[in-house]
Amino acid sequence: MLQVPIKVQSFLGNVSLFKELASDELDRIAAKIVEVRAARAEVLFRRGDPALGFHIIVFGQVKLAFSSPRGDEKVVDLIGPGQSFGEAVMFMERPHVVTAQALSDSLLLYIAREIVFEELERDPRFVRRMIAGLSSRLHGLMSDLESDSLRSGTQRIIGYLLRDSDDNPESKNALEVTLSANKGVIASRLSLTQEHFSRILHDLSARRLIEVHGRSIYIPDVAKLRACSD
């Protein structure tokens, strides 16, 4: 894996949880943080492992998933640069409920529970930001549950493809989307089988709503694809 040096303080200063802290506070936290370099497919922790801290991704991607005794997998979330995971179970002082695996060579910052607790006691602003972050994650999970329960497979896939165009819902421009993981992982994230996922992509392609080129998907008319979902 490429060994890219980073300035931890500068990175933390751009993460929402830490961005309001003074430079000396960032220095104090950065001095206690552990850099974790994970190769593609490396497991960071497994379901049942003790949750003694949380991670923030500097670069790369991590998959959070459940696995059944038969080996079936349900992808709960895909975490990318600047995002964190593991905070909730850390506060509950319970074991991890998912397995975290790197989908690409990744660099993460590991922040031990003791560091967080020290900052919570020292700075009420940190408490508010931590609660806001956990609340945002819960809101996202509720939205995912609503989508899985009430929307068709086609609607879920269209919503996923158009997730970055939601800030401009009236847009009629073309859009090119690169899938952040292989189709099997994305399908599981959307609570679909890989076969169902592929059939829907094929159907949308046959209707000339999208063009599929490996992981790259070209959308010639965003508004037309969005209307199909509606």
Domain that holds residue 181: 153-229
DSSP secondary structure string for all residues of 99-147 = EEEESSSEEEEEEEHHHHHHHHHH-HHHHHHHHHHHHHHHHHHHHHHHH
Looking at residue 177, which CATH number applies to its domain?
Answer: 1.10.10.10
pTM above 0.85, yes or no: no
> Looking at beta carbons, which pairs linking 90-94 to residues 24 or more positions away fall under 8 Å?
90/51, 90/52, 90/53, 90/54, 90/116, 91/134, 92/51, 93/51, 94/51
Short-list 106, 108, 107, 86, CA closest to 98: 86
pLDDT at 143 over 80: no
Whether residues 136 and 176 share a domain: the answer is no
pLDDT at 22 over 70: yes
Tell me what the pLDDT averaged over the chain comes to: 86
Rg (CA), the chain: 19
2 within domain boundaries: no
177 within domain boundaries: yes
pLDDT digits (tens, 9 = 90+) for 43-82: 999 999 999 999 999 999 999 999 877 878 899 999 999 8
pLDDT at 173 over 90: no
Number of independent structural domains in the chain: 2
Whether residues 14 and 103 share a domain: the answer is yes
